[in-house]
């Protein structure tokens, strides 16, 4: 019997099966050590095929050395998912397997055991020992405590017993040596969210008329026993979560399992607070903020079938779950569902594959659906389920647009307008809460010399440094590579002390609020304040408990949160994302503004959104304030059709990276020439447009230069094969220039 082994960490042109002689225990999906090369170096690989015969010379086929990491061997479904990722994202098998397995799995199992103690004698014998005095009895007070505690208990955690009064480790050791107590071990599951399910809430979910209508359609699709996809399009505050919970209950009632996805780690505390109370220990959580051990423990629980609901961010869709009846992608429009590292998958496509395999329902939910999903729903490829009214009859918040140009003319140079300041004061006086949104962290966004015009930039990247302040003092930071340097007084080019600090981020906005409203308690939530483990949870729960009057932050405060006391939302720079040069700029700006405006007035007290902008007449800002998604989407789709942009075509970016700028430019030219040659052949019969090569929007990142070539096309098997051949060719011939392919990337 022979097995086909793929290795980890090999370049694309070597990503192929190597035949080995199978040994006992080798099966499809096994992780194995095998001898590789002339030196028979032991390498880790994965078995992706089992066969009776091999075309390789039998005398050259080596036997597998050993089977390892049995907990992480691929199941049949995981094996199929790896092949799907390889075909659809053009990654290597090794990259696909690494994405599916929990972090650190290939470096060894990270299982934690807890020590259990139990009586090695009967309860009756233990009582007799304790009743004896003098010789033949137990005189040690600590030992007597242990025996007395264990009577009638079965196995108990050693740490619990060690915490008893008068008990020491020596007491326990002595009892074990006497044969009175025996030691056992059990897996210690690390679950930082276990306390979320301490208070159970299994009460009936009461739906409004509109919600009941939406759920009835979801139920109809679920019971069709076909692979289905539905778009639940509900305005902010419409109660999509209640419909989703009823759908989960439906799947569980038939013994099916569910994946519930959220776009940000910041949303998991709120989501878990709701779902853990309902589904208790049957919930597993997966996101990048957990430790390797916690991720591996969640993986094992899911794989063993102990979990019927998986909640997490993008990678949750890759978990080893079988018998899936429902996958929910909440806030499905979010760009975080698309991976920017290999394998460059979109969670929606993987979820669609899984639901097709399991004949399950994929439920996409959003107040601002992606244009791709909206178009499919309008064309009937997805089932469209609208929810057009807020739950409980609550009105959408009023939105006021503030022209910041007028503020400047009136002499207000602060990032806070007079209207927003007045509204914040009102919130404080009424003992309500507010959210302030600014999609830019740091104190100042740019440091420039007024003498020579030099912008202080990163030494490793072609981006300007951002000014940050802290208790230790100021620093300049690169948000691309993390490079930092102290704040300087003199220009590094001309030596003049004429540095000017321009622009503002969340730190400066925090300072301005404190200056004008010193009584207001403000909580800042951005990448600088959420670096610790579970920092998101602590900040959000603190705000929910009323520990702050204002929550100020970047995108992580803008989406999905439900704070009943929030009656005001302020947006500091509403137009900052409109002018990025990306064709998705309008869509992202509309979605972001709609989502952040929707955080206000979710209770009966109503709400107000103050939108500060330098482009007050921009159509996108106006439509977002009106929460008019349909008008926006129809207009944007019309424009995309005329310009032949997604979703009316596919876009592929070919990115070449190198530390040598000269070699990069040479290889970029060679790639363009090769593309022209390919298009003159059979592949040229398909619609194809090539742009480039051109410099990436950030040309240099972490001392590596980047060139891009962009292709507009219609993806099919032949086009993917062509792209794969390009990767193979340039991987084999270019040692110092790497080529990567991203299909329908987040940005171009």
So what CATH class is 398-443+504-640? Answer: alpha beta
Are 338 and 344 in contact by the 8 Å Cβ rule? The answer is yes
CATH classification of 194-393 is 3.40.50.300, yes or no? yes
Are 693 and 673 in contact by the 8 Å Cβ rule? The answer is no
Q: Give Cα separations from 162 to 32, 138, 158, 347 (angstroms).
A: 41, 18, 6, 47
Which helix (H) or strand (E) segment holds residue 116: the answer is strand 113-119
- Interior/surface letters 39-58, b for 16+ CB within 10 angstroms, e for the rest: eeeebbbbbbeeeeebeeee
Q: In angstroms, rounded to a whole number, what is the distance separating the alpha carbons of residues 576 and 554? A: 12
Start-end ranges of CATH 3.30.70.360 in the chain?
650-743
* Segments in the chain below pLDDT 70: 109, 134-136, 197-198, 268, 393, 603-605
Query: Are 371 and 640 within 8 A, CB to CB?
Result: yes
Find all residues with CB under 8 Å of 482, minimum gap 6, and list them. none
Q: Hey, what are 311's tokens? A: 């909640």
Give the pLDDT confidence of 474-492 residue by residue, as tens digits: 899 999 999 999 999 999 9
- Listed in sequence order, the residues at least 6 apart from 381 whose beta carbon sits closer than 8 Å to its beta carbon are 229
**Cα–Cα distance, 125 to 138 (Å, whole number):** 12
CATH 3.40.50.300 location in the chain: 194-393, 398-443+504-640
pLDDT of residue 389: 84
Quick one: pLDDT at residue 69? 79
For tokens 């302020």, the residue is 570
Q: What is the pLDDT of residue 138?
A: 84
Domain 2-101 grouped into CATH 3.40.1440.60:
yes
Spatial strand order in the sheet of 704-713: 688-701, 704-713, 650-658, 738-743
Q: What is the pLDDT of residue 274?
A: 86
- State the Cα–Cα distance between residues 360 and 227, nearest whole angstrom: 5
- Quote the DSSP letter at residue 361: E
**What SS3 class is residue 319?**
coil
pTM for the full model? 0.90
Q: Count of alpha carbons within 13 Å of 474, Cβ hemisphere only?
A: 14
**Do residues 387 and 213 touch, judged by C-beta distance below 8 A?**
no
Token pair 């005329």: residue: 642
Calculate helix-pair angle for 169-177, 141-150, nearest 10 degrees: 70
CATH of 650-743, one of 3.40.50.620, 3.20.20.60, 3.40.50.970, 3.30.70.360: 3.30.70.360
596-625 exposure pattern, b = at least 16 Cβ within 10 A, e = fewer: bbbbbbbbeeebbbbbbbebbebebbbbbb
From CA 24, how far away is CA 301, in angstroms rounded?
27
Rg (CA), the chain: 30
What does the pLDDT look like over 554-583, one tens digit per residue? Answer: 988 887 778 889 999 999 999 888 887 789
């Amino acid at each position: 019997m022979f097995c086909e082994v793929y290795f980890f960490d090999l370049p694309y042109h070597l990503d192929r099966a190597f035949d080995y002689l199978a040994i006992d225990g080798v099966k499809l999906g096994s992780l194995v050590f095998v001898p590789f090369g002339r030196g028979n170096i032991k390498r880790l690989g994965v078995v992706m095929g089992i066969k009776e015969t091999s075309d390789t010379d039998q005398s050259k086929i080596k036997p597998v050395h050993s089977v390892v990491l049995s907990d992480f061997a691929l199941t049949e479904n995981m094996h199929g998912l790896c092949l799907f990722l390889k075909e659809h994202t053009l990654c290597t098998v090794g990259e696909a397997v690494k994405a599916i397995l929990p972090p650190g799995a290939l470096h060894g199992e990270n299982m934690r055991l807890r020590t259990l103690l139990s009586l090695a004698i009967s309860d009756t014998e233990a009582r007799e020992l304790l009743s004896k005095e003098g010789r033949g009895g137990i005189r040690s007070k600590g030992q007597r405590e242990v025996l007395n505690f264990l009577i009638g208990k079965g196995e108990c955690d050693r740490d619990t017993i060690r915490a008893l009064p008068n008990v020491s480790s020596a007491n326990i050791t002595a009892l074990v040596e006497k044969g009175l107590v025996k030691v056992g071990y059990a897996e210690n599951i690390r679950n930082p969210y276990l306390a979320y399910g301490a208070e159970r809430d299994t009460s009936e979910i009461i739906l409004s008329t509109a919600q009941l209508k939406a759920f009835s359609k979801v139920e109809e699709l679920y019971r069709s026993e076909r692979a289905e996809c539905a778009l639940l399009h509900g305005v902010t505050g419409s109660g999509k979560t209640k419909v989703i919970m009823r759908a989960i209950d439906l799947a569980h009632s038939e013994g099916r399992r569910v994946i519930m996805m959220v776009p940000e780690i910041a949303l998991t505390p709120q989501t878990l607070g709701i779902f853990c109370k309902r589904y208790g220990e049957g919930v597993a959580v997966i996101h990048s903020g957990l430790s390797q051990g916690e991720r591996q423990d969640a993986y094992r629980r899911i794989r063993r079938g102990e979990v019927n609901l998986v909640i997490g961010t993008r990678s949750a869709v890759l978990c080893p779950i079988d018998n899936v009846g429902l996958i929910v992608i909440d806030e499905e429009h979010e760009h975080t569902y698309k991976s920017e590292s290999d394998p460059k998958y979109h969670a929606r496509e993987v979820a669609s594959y899984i639901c097709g395999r399991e004949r399950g329902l994929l439920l996409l939910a959003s107040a601002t659906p992606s244009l791709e999903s909206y178009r499919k729903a309008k064309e009937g490829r997805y089932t469209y389920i609208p929810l057009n009214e807020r739950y409980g009859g609550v009105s959408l918040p009023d939105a006021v647009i503030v022209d910041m140009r007028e503020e400047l003319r009136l002499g207000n140079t602060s990032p806070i307008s007079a209207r927003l300041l007045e509204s914040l004061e009102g919130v404080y006086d009424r003992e309500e809460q507010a959210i302030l949104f600014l999609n830019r962290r740091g104190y100042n966004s740019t440091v420039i010399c007024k003498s020579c015009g030099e912008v202080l930039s990163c030494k490793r990247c072609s981006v300007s440094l951002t000014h940050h302040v802290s208790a230790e003092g100021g620093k300049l930071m690169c948000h691309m590579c993390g490079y930092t340097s102290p704040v300087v007084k003199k220009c590094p080019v001309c030596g003049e002390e004429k540095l000017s600090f321009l622009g503002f981020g969340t730190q400066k906005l925090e300072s301005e609020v404190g200056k004008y409203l010193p009584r207001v308690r403000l909580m800042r939530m951005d990448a600088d304040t959420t670096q610790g483990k579970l920092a998101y949870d602590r900040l959000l729960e603190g705000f929910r408990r009323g520990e702050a009057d204002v929550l100020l932050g970047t995108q992580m405060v803008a989406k999905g949160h439900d704070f009943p006391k929030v009656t005001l939302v302020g947006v500091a720079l509403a137009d900052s994302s409109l002018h990025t040069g990306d064709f998705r700029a309008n869509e992202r700006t509309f979605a972001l503004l709609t989502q952040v405006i929707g955080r206000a007035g979710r209770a009966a007290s109503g709400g107000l959104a103050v939108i500060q902008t330098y482009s007050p007449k921009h159509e996108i800002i106006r439509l977002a304030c009106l929460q008019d998604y349909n008008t926006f989407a129809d207009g944007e789709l019309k424009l995309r059709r005329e310009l032949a942009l997604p979703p009316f075509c596919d876009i592929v970016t070919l990115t070449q990276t190198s530390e040598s700028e000269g070699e990069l430019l040479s290889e970029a030219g060679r790639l363009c020439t090769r593309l022209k040659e390919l298009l003159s052949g059979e592949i040229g019969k398909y619609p194809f447009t090539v742009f480039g090569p051109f410099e990436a929007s950030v040309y240099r990142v972490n001392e590596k230069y980047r060139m891009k070539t962009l292709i507009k096309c219609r993806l099919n098997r032949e086009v993917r094969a062509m792209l794969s051949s390009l990767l193979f060719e340039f991987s084999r011939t270019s040692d110092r220039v790497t080529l990567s392919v991203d299909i329908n990337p987040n940005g171009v």
